[in-house]
């Protein structure tokens, strides 16, 4: 089954962001609480982004999450322009 969901999460150290998570059955209120953000990104080499955060489904559960994103630069002579 292919069902659509939507939502938004904003990460900034110390930020508590209230939002929602939309599902085909309706919306759920969530809070995103960012504990720590670390980045070693550079245009020349890429790098990593690490985010330590909590998500709370308001009034139901609060869970901790660690997200690590690795960014690799493609081997192109010319940078991609958007």
pLDDT at 44: 84
Interatomic CA distance for residues 22 and 61, integer angstroms: 17
Residue 82: pLDDT band with limits 50, 70, 90: very low
Interatomic CA distance for residues 49 and 43, integer angstroms: 13
Q: How many CB atoms lie within 10 A of CB 13?
A: 12
Average pLDDT, the chain: 84
pTM beyond 0.75: the answer is no
- Identify the residue with better confidence: 68 or 23: 68
61 pLDDT above the threshold of 60: yes
80 pLDDT above the threshold of 70: no
pLDDT at 76: 62
Residue with tokens 């991609």: 80
Provide the edge-to-edge strand list for the sheet that holds 26-39: 6-7, 16-23, 26-39, 46-57, 61-72
Mean pLDDT of the region 46-52: 94
Q: How many Cα neighbours within 13 Å face the side chain of 51?
A: 18
């Amino acid at each position: 089954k292919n069902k659509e969901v939507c939502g938004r999460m904003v990460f900034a150290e110390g930020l508590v962001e209230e939002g929602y998570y939309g599902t085909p059955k309706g919306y759920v209120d969530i809070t995103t609480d960012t504990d720590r953000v670390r980045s070693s990104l550079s245009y020349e080499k890429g790098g990593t982004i690490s985010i330590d955060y909590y998500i709370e489904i308001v009034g139901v559960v609060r869970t901790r999450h660690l997200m690590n994103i690795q960014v690799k630069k493609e081997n192109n002579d010319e940078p991609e322009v958007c």
